[in-house]
Amino acid sequence: MTPAAPVEIIVTSERGPYRVHIGAGLSDDLPHLFDSLRLGAKRIVVSSAPVWHRQGKRLGPFLGRERPTLIPDGERAKSLTTVSRIYDACVRRGLDRSSAIVAFGGGVVGDVAGFAAASYLRGITLVQVPTTLLAQVDSAIGGKVGVNLAVGKNLVGAFHAPSLVLCDPTVLRTLPRRQFRAGLYEVVKYGVIASRPLFDRVTATLPRIFAHDLPTLTPVIADCCRIKADVVMADEREQGPRRALNFGHTIGHALEAITRYRRFLHGEAIGWGMLAAARLSVMRGTMQAEDEAELQTLLAALGKRPAVRDLRIADALTVVGRDKKVVAGRLHFVLARGIGSTEIVSDVTTDELALAMRQIGLR
């Protein structure tokens, strides 16, 4: 089969429209795309050592004699300390307001580099070149950037839309299988919240997706990006409809925090969170048990997730109480109304959350 044709999506934002390019081999065209933005000559590339080791040759000609700014790998690197390292690199390179930061890596690199771009000189250009499936389908689009605090995830951040997003599915071939699987949880999320056809297609073609078959994988990435773009354009600052993107994230973020970001990849925690949210949806009568069973089957087909049976519900509830989705003391929680639709409620009780967590295995 021939590779899928490249896709271009235009996203409007407060900072102006930007393009999301999706297609095999597009990362090799970054210099041309970057020049089309007509920016100043000075820029830095932020990446992590594992990503740069596997994929740095793609951006080597783009950097010239400059070296990338490498930050630690993993969720624990999403910190103000890491952001400070990027600021130092910006100063050394002499970046000004015509300059840009290029985030070349997964969601952590994109979030941290994005927050640095949002805050350095009160905001400079950001280019996202995501190298993980999770970042390509989710975090690179929409302009939410930030870092974690010890007590919770993404508690410090900003809205700072990129000027360009480039998603090249070929870079995913060197991604460790666990990392690739982690991204598929977010793909499944998009099916649950907005597209029954996407959910069914992932279910039917999962072996080809795992085989990185480009004619299968590229349209899946493009569909997720379209859904994300549509939601973001309707509610850029997450005052209403954009909250649907948090399906599974309330409890998923809590699991990450109580394990100090050491046990779960983000997608794995969201997988557990989606199971809990689906259970709560069935308990409330918004989701049929048959749809919950389909979700459970598909998530199980993605592979084994790190265990939760030793984690305490009380600890998770403490983190949930500090979640950024708590507004005026009320938690906005995303329930499923089946596969392909959600609703947002603000009356979920602590007892309901505890029961849902207990039923997925917490104690």
Which of the residues are catalytic?
122, 144, 186, 228, 238, 242, 246, 249, 253, 266
- Which helix H or strand E contains 132, and what residues bound it? none
- Which helix H or strand E contains 165, and what residues bound it? strand 164-167
**How long a stretch of residues is the chain?**
363
The rounded distance, in Å, linking the Cα atoms of 206 and 202 is 5
The rounded distance, in Å, linking the Cα atoms of 174 and 168 is 12
The rounded distance, in Å, linking the Cα atoms of 128 and 140 is 6
The residue type at 252? G
The rounded distance, in Å, linking the Cα atoms of 74 and 144 is 18
DSSP codes joined into one string, 322-349: T-TTEETTEE-EEEESSTT-EEEES---
4: left (phi over 0), alpha (psi -120 to 50) or beta: beta
The rounded distance, in Å, linking the Cα atoms of 267 and 264 is 8
User: Which DSSP letter does residue 304 get?
Assistant: P
User: Which DSSP letter does residue 120 get?
Assistant: G
Residue 259, helix vs strand vs coil: coil
Max distance between CA atoms of the chain, in angstroms, equals: 60
The rounded distance, in Å, linking the Cα atoms of 93 and 235 is 35
Asked if 113 contacts 79 with a C-beta cutoff of 8 angstroms, the reply is no
The closest of 72, 97, 94 to 85, measured between CA atoms, is: 72
